[in-house]
Amino acid sequence: MQRSLEIRELLVAISRLPEGRRTRRDVWYESQKEHWIGWLFHYNSAGAYGRKITSGRDAKFVYNHVVCPGLLTYLAAAAGVSPTRVRQARRIENSEGSLMARVGAIRQLLPWELVQDALLKNGFVRMTD
């Protein structure tokens, strides 16, 4: 089993992804790519979300704690995960229910290992040792 990407490796990978579609106008970011970059760039600080400052977390931890369905579906689609799975995830993203329920269901369909494998396979990141 390979290790999970470090947060900085995920940030570099996301910076290489295509922009994706524009988001709602009532948020500070114009795309989910920009949302990811803004969130990860300040991840080890309180940032805009008032996070606790911690260390030792990796990309898998980040992915498994995202509470925005659009972040997850964008990342999977842009990384090159199966379009069928991404379509299913987008249906969940746009369904009724709490954010926590929707992101949980999306992560069941698109686990971190699947997304990381797509990022690696499609050349968006190379793991460093």
For the stretch 30-50, pLDDT in tens is 788 888 888 888 776 555 556
Please check whether residue 96 lies inside any domain of the structure.
yes
* Tally of structural domains, the chain: 1
Phi, psi of 93 (to 5 degrees): -55, -40
Q: Which of 8-12, 25-29, 113-117 has maximum average pLDDT?
A: 113-117
Residue 23 has pLDDT above 70, yes or no: no
User: Does a structural domain hold residue 1?
Assistant: no
Beta bridge partners of 22: 31
Inter-residue contact 84 to 71 (CB < 8 Å): no
- Residue among 56, 79, 80 nearest 6 (CA): 56
Judged against a pLDDT cut of 90, whether residue 101 lies above it is answered with yes
The answer to whether residue 27 sits within a structural domain is yes
Question: Per the domain annotation, does 2 fall within a domain?
Answer: no
Range of weakest confidence among 36-50, 51-65, 114-128:
36-50
Distance CA(7)–CA(75), nearest Å, equals 14
Domain range for 94 is: 7-121
Mapping DSSP to helix (H, G, I), strand (E, B) and coil, where does residue 58 land?
A: strand
- Is 97 part of any domain? yes
